[in-house]
Structure 1
Amino acid sequence: MLLRCINDAILCCNSLGRLDSTQVRRRFSTSTVTPAPRQQRNGESVPKATKSARAHEPPSRAARATRSTIPRAPGRDHTAVHKPTLRAIAAGAAICLLSAAQAQQVTEPPTPVAQTSDAAGGGLGAVVVTATRSDTPLLEVPASASVVSRQDLEQRNVARFGDAVAEVPGLYVRGAAFGASFPGSGQAVLSLRGIPRTPRTLVMVDGLPINNALSGGVNVSGIALENVERVEVLRGPYSALWGGNAMGGVINFISASPDQPLAEIRGGLGSNGLRAGSAIFRKRFEGGLGVSMAFGYRESDGYDDSDYAIKRALPGTGAIPVTGAIPTRTPEGAPAWWVGLKGARPWTQTNASARFDWTLGPATRMNAGLAWGEYEVGYRRPSSFLIGPAGTPVSSGNVGLADASTPLRIAMAETDFLTPTPSGERDLRVFAGVEHRFSGGSLLKVNLGRLEHRFGFSQAGRGADYESGPGTYTDQPNDRTDLDVSWRNRLGESTIFTAGFSLNHSTLDRSTQSLAYWRDPDTAVAETGRSTGESDNTALFAQTETFVGEKGRLVLGARYDRFRTSGSIADASGSATFPANTFSRLSPKAAFAWQASPELTLRTSLGAGFRPPALLDLYSRFTVPSPVAGQLILYDASPDLEPERVIALDAGFDLALANGLQGSVTVFAQQLRDLIYRRSITPTLTRAENTGEARVDGIEASFRAPTGLQGLRVIGSYTHNFRYEVTKNDAVPGSVGKNLTDVPRTLWSLGAEYASGPWSGLLVYRHVGHVFGSSDDLNQETTEGMYGAYDRHGVASARIGYRFSRQFSASLAIDNLTDRQYFVFAKQPGRTVFAEAAWRF
């Protein structure tokens, strides 16, 4: 009820200037480091009193991360973007101020936690906040975790979040998550610890979720990476602290603090017509006001051969004899013909953020801000390889293949050469937070955030061509509002207690419209379907961290989540209003770390996680073409779905030697239950059900090693799933014993980093094993090197940078050094080059 009131207040403030999805659609239609010694609770490194006091200290400057935010959106609808976000921030700020006003003041200001030099390089000396909701040295966390530091980010050509985390063990990212490819839906671009698809991994910015309310996916352009200080990756279920979606783990992007002042502009040019620019400003002014702002823009012409037109042929003689078809195969290995290219997909990507924080007395800090991320994908004219009797290209009709050894014919249509563009996605976030330290040392944190997610795309209808014809536009506006409150306090000499609650309210309003011209959403003729959904989540959580003897750390925690959902559907087949449905989930976790020596930590954990069904799973109904010509398959709504679940056990060690060698190894076993699959009720009707179970067992490892040469170290990571198979599936019985989709068996990377004086550089090789695509539950797509396949591949990348002065630096990045030709469904870019210059003021 509280969150509904907050949400209604924000909506009321937004009512005069809400982001209009029609305006959005119109825009879419245009074209070396020594690790610090491991601290001991009662050892010589840190006295006992110091150790217990440290647990109550507030986040360090690097960890007091700012929340990304955004100024006005450019273009015709900037008012619709700007007004609601400002008003929403005012509502959030008022709530936080009220909390601060009711809190006590303390006599001394908080002291930041000291960070080791290794934190800058993302090593085991780094500090993480996600694992326990407080600053904790990575070596002391009883979890399999990685930190990608700002230094790591600067040594890589980072355009989207996939570029930032590509070498993290246990994490598979692909396709649209990388900046060289055109952006797209983020539902299947990452898998963590062998658990497939983005919605089963919780992705956050500064502790607030950015998995959208539509599907649980993530906007690949929705994070302003220009202002990210580090990325924390926790592998294994973390629902005991963070709730839903955290089955495979958690990825938390931590924003840079205004206490790290910076004013910088960057600009660059690259392959495929890439143009990029960014600006960053961070400063804390006298009086305590801190400001962090960032803007980034990237634009590309795309590449012509990203999408192939592939057709199967039938025996017989066609009415139009053609030449030029190229024999190929489908991913299943069946004979097929490559008949053309669907045209390049030019794209733009824009991010902006603005965050402000204030110090309200010696014990209270408050922050508020805006964030915006958007991409748009356009289209270019396709080309047909088929040449008819008149010597002109042929793209439609009943054609006969003159190049075939036996008579073959293909029924061609103009739609075979069209991509579902224009398309676009936009995230608009507003947030506010407050931290207050009480006189007894306890710490209260309150965070409020709202995410408005817009995702739309066009599809050509029967009889359409490149320049005309009917089609449909699907618009899927959805919103989520989150409130997270936590309190952390010491209990006795050796225990730290954390407790709190979380609230979430999410909505979906999905519609499909028929268009007179399928490229232009403004030509809507009629609404052919609409579905709405709403969910409320209330959660309570508690955790204890207990120091056991001199060297042990025991973490016990649990979280209870309760959900209430409702929705409706109306389309040509009828309308339905679904009554409220409730479900709940208890997620416990136990973890233990033991300092076997100053250099070696042993750890193990056992925990449970879950993913609630998304509103798209529950309350959407749509049709797709069936293999039978002229027949459609209805994907019906599934309002009675329950959460997917996982139970996981892992054990491993972290090693940090005085000579700079660092290593981490973890083995894990996971049991997945109640997985959602679609059952075929009839040949033309399917419905989603909780019928699947799976087992995922594997190993993940990483290392950093000095070479003896100043500034040069070797890095590597390895992930291998011994088993990742479906063990039960009543909806698709043939999938039992098959591998999970969207997960490779093996991932590894090996490279070298260099940083000395004005020079910096990176050379890394990444290998990805074969992947079965999202719809290939029967693992039939074993042929590689074909359009639609997910090839095993290895790609080398390099970057070199030089700082000419304190102000000016330049870099050159080359991805896919060997120009490897491979497919991740679409054909991936070949060798690409990007040159960038930066000026610091």
Structure 2
Amino acid sequence: MFRQPEIKPVAAAVGAVLAVLFSQLAVAQGVATERELSPVVVADGGSYVPLDPTLPSSSHSVTRKELQNQSFVNTEDALAYAPNTTVRKRFIGDRNANLSGRSFGTLQPARGLAYVDGYLISNFLGRFDAPRWNIVAPEEVARTDVLYGPFSAIYPGNSIGTTVAITTRTPDAPEASARVLAYRQTHDDYGLKRDYGGDQESVFAGRRWGDLSMSVSLNRLAYESQPMAYASASATSANVAGLPVVSGAVLDRDPSGKARAVLGATGMQEGVQTQAKIKLAYDIGKELQADMLFAHWRNDYRVSNETLLRDADGNPYWRPASGSSAVNIDGQRYTVPAMPPQRGEDEHVQFGGRLRTTRDVGWNHSIQVSRYQMDTDSLRQANVSDPFAKGAVAGSDTRRDGTGWTTLELQSTWTPAQHLGHALTFGYHRNLYELENRVYALANWHSSANRGAETQSYLGKTEVQALYAQDAWRFHPDWVATLGLRLERFRAFDGAQFAAGSRVEHDDRSASAASPKLSLSYALSDTWLLRASYGRGVRFPTVSELFQGTVSNNSIYNNDPDLKPEKSDAMELSAMRDTGAGNLRISLYQDNIRDAIYQQRQDVGGVAVNTVQNVARVRTRGIEIAWQAADVLIEGFDLQASAAYNDAVTVSNPALPATEGKRFPRIPRVRASLHGSYEHGPWTASLGIRHSGRQYGELDNSDRNADTFGAVSSFTVADARFIYRFGRQASLALGVDNLTDERYYVYHPYPGRTLYAEFSLAY
């Protein structure tokens, strides 16, 4: 039944001392957000109590119990079956697992927001930087909520796509759990067949002592990835006189249909990630709570490559460290690219706190602050291919040390004592993103100790300050009108680039935006809820979109310090039904985006020139159907299913008219998923199927050859899992992801069939 839910805090709030110490810091969720995201309760018999009808947008929620019945190796796996959502997880431990949703693709990470216990983990710094999922251990996740579209004034303009709110475990009684997992993947592509594997160990513990509660989580992941890319070349002539004759190249066609030779596999990562987090919460008084957290993540890894070429004696052939790089392949002249190895070292920390009041009715206030900082972020690369890089050869070191973001959220809410009335929210938000990306020459690429001159750099800062207000007005027992307004002020400053011996200082700039929101909900009956929503969202450019311009091998990346912000006018009509054992949602939506920010690519003399530009207008229309239910037909059988049709079109693009009328990149026409689990006694078996339809990687849709490296494939993937529980304390799980060993690509190859075994203990 759709009724006013009980308000329960997701976590205790930030310490007053931290609020003073970190007054420049930041984040997002507060007491108003928690009112919107009331807990999904699994009642006796498995029936679900739906979310608050004052929630102005469609949503999807998944609990820890449901996550335990699916493949859940990394935190982002919680979104695997979220309706109309894709996570570009290229391998277990991928630090760039980008989101994609209704109206945005995986190359537009700034259109998604991600929070953990209200702390912002969205990385709006690099072009392909995903939310920092790695800062959260899967063992500590209690629940995940997904919100669609820019319909709430509480969230920043980056919510024009999808907002993910992760809640971690906060024990009231002594609680502990541990998990050990091992996995193995077989990957067979372009003639290279290898096994890749790893292991993961997790521990979580927490308890409460009177007014004080504490939880600790530890996680270690040793991982290996399949190749992330392939080195390729095109024939340039038939003049092969005097060139070394090599074999082993795999001839195929690139995404646009042009002939090419694949010469080697690149980007195979191997490393160890460790994560540690401590959370403290304290009830200062009956109606005053404080909390704080500190999280640490470290990643040490290396990147290697594999040549497919063989010389006349059958030995591996690499591009020479010096001299000619041309070879004779089947009577045609090819230039072998360098495949340099890399070494990476990352050490990131996140800390923050919150202070708030927790009255059931009347006024509540909160202040929340946080900082995410990259203490060390280094990627060293040799100047030559793998076999020639074992000695003390020259290279480069790309560093982002000190980069990070800070946020501050001040919020006040009013909750009426009666069923009818106004639920008010007022707030102030500030975020500051700071980027320092510097490239140094190395005399010996194995160590940063001999760092030489700076060869490239791009620097800059962006700041958004916002005032917002929202009123969820229940003016009738069956009607709720939610009205909101967000006023934002954007500033970009201290932007600079250095390359080819010259430095460019960019002018500071600023912009303002107003984003109105309106939603109307009607409880048609005890089981049906209807809602119409409109929202404007303004997404300002990121630091890298404004200031990052680089030259790398055969690619040039041009930035634009004068980019306009993206402006989204979104509408949604939804019908939701509480079935008693679950819920059904049907949503129609349209998203008109003006000045969409996208990286447009052109080939100029064999060099890929990528330019970040505004696309004048992009329109997405679609329909979503999502269903969750417990005890379907028989007791113990739970099912969730979703299907979505998206029609995303580039309506106007004066910068590249050939793209007009074409489908917008990386948004498939059809997304669908199905996940069922059956529990009988100590046994649980589950099967999930995920489908993504045809999509393109280029704005002009010229990449018509979809099932090849560099393209964006359609796919249908099945995952299975079996669990046996030894009482309430221990369980053993066996699973397989990509059951049919589907070979598919998102430019990079996705993983092949992956087997895993997992043993868990809980107290």
Residue in 1 that maps onto 2:439:
512
Residue in 1 that maps onto 2:737:
815
Residue in 1 that maps onto 2:70:
156
The answer as to 2:262 corresponding to 1:338 is yes
CA deviation profile, 1:351-384 (whole Å, cap 9, x unmatched): 221100001111111001112334343134x443
Distance 1:670 1:119 in 2: 36
Which of 143, 166, 172 is the matching residue for 2:80? 166
Distance 1:787 1:432 in 2: 44
- How do residues 240-639 of structure 1 correspond to structure 2 at under 5 angstroms? 240-259=153-172, 261-271=174-184, 272-285=196-209, 287-303=210-226, 307-318=229-240, 319-342=243-266, 344-380=268-304, 382-396=305-319, 397-402=325-330, 407-413=331-337, 415=338, 417-418=339-340, 421-423=342-344, 425-437=346-358, 441-453=362-374, 455-461=377-383, 465-467=388-390, 469-477=393-401, 478-490=403-415, 493-518=420-445, 520-567=447-494, 568-626=496-554, 633=556, 635-639=557-561
Contact 2:430–2:465 (8 Å) recurs in 1: yes
Letter in 2 for 1:750: L
Contact 2:444–2:450 (8 Å) recurs in 1: yes
Letter in 2 for 1:236: G
Q: Which has the higher strand share?
A: 2
Distance 2:45 2:138 in 1: 17
Contact 1:162–1:174 (8 Å) recurs in 2: no
Distance 1:260 1:730 in 2: 61
Distance 1:90 1:260 in 2: 27
CA deviation profile, 1:18-55 (whole Å, cap 9, x unmatched): xxxxxxxxxxxxxxxxxxx332xxxxxxxxxxx6xx7x
Letter in 2 for 1:290: S
Deviation, structure 1 residue 615: 1.2
Letter in 1 for 2:648: Y
Does the C-alpha gap of structure 1 residues 732 and 426 become closer, same or farther in structure 2, counting only changes over 3 Å? Answer: farther
Distance 2:456 2:43 in 1: 52
- Structure 2: tracts of 5 or more residues without a match: 24-34, 185-195, 320-324
Deviation, structure 1 residue 637: 4.6
Contact 1:202–1:244 (8 Å) recurs in 2: no
* Secondary structure in structure 2 of the residue aligned to 1:422: strand
The answer as to 2:591 corresponding to 1:670 is yes
State the TM-score, normalized to the length of structure 2. Answer: 0.87
Residue in 1 that maps onto 2:99:
190
Deviation, structure 1 residue 140: 5.2
Residue in 1 that maps onto 2:322:
none
Deviation, structure 1 residue 676: 2.3
Which of 751, 769, 785 is the matching residue for 2:675? 751
Deviation, structure 1 residue 232: 0.9
CA deviation profile, 1:271-305 (whole Å, cap 9, x unmatched): 133211100012111x31101111111112334x5
Deviation, structure 1 residue 339: 2.6
Residue in 1 that maps onto 2:30:
none
Does the C-alpha gap of structure 1 residues 820 and 677 become closer, same or farther in structure 2, counting only changes over 3 Å? Answer: closer
- How do residues 711-790 of structure 1 correspond to structure 2 at under 5 angstroms? 711-721=636-646, 723-773=647-697, 776-790=698-712
Give the number of equivalent residue pairs: 719
Contact 1:638–1:689 (8 Å) recurs in 2: yes
Distance 1:270 1:300 in 2: 9
Does the C-alpha gap of structure 1 residues 379 and 505 become closer, same or farther in structure 2, counting only changes over 3 Å? Answer: closer
Does the C-alpha gap of structure 1 residues 252 and 439 become closer, same or farther in structure 2, counting only changes over 3 Å? Answer: closer
**Bigger mean CA deviation after superposition, 305-314 or 332-341:** 305-314
Deviation, structure 1 residue 182: 5.3
Distance 2:382 2:634 in 1: 58
Deviation, structure 1 residue 561: 0.9
* Secondary structure in structure 2 of the residue aligned to 1:331: coil
CA deviation profile, 1:97-148 (whole Å, cap 9, x unmatched): xxxxxxxxxxxxxx9999674379998525xxxxxxxxxx345534210111
- Structure 1: tracts of 5 or more residues without a match: 1-36, 40-50, 68-87, 97-110, 127-136, 627-631
Does the C-alpha gap of structure 1 residues 370 and 115 become closer, same or farther in structure 2, counting only changes over 3 Å? Answer: closer
The answer as to 2:8 corresponding to 1:59 is yes
Tell me the percent identity: 25
Deviation, structure 1 residue 571: 3.5
State the TM-score, normalized to the length of structure 1. Answer: 0.80
Letter in 2 for 1:198: P
CA deviation profile, 1:482-519 (whole Å, cap 9, x unmatched): 11111111468511111111122332222111223445
Contact 2:57–2:148 (8 Å) recurs in 1: yes
Does the C-alpha gap of structure 1 residues 770 and 716 become closer, same or farther in structure 2, counting only changes over 3 Å? Answer: same
Deviation, structure 1 residue 777: 2.1
Which of 801, 810, 825 is the matching residue for 2:747? 825
Distance 2:80 2:248 in 1: 39
Does the C-alpha gap of structure 1 residues 528 and 153 become closer, same or farther in structure 2, counting only changes over 3 Å? Answer: same
CA RMSD of aligned residues (A): 3.0
Residue in 2 that maps onto 1:835:
757
Contact 2:12–2:289 (8 Å) recurs in 1: no
Distance 1:360 1:410 in 2: 71
Distance 2:638 2:502 in 1: 64
Contact 1:727–1:737 (8 Å) recurs in 2: yes
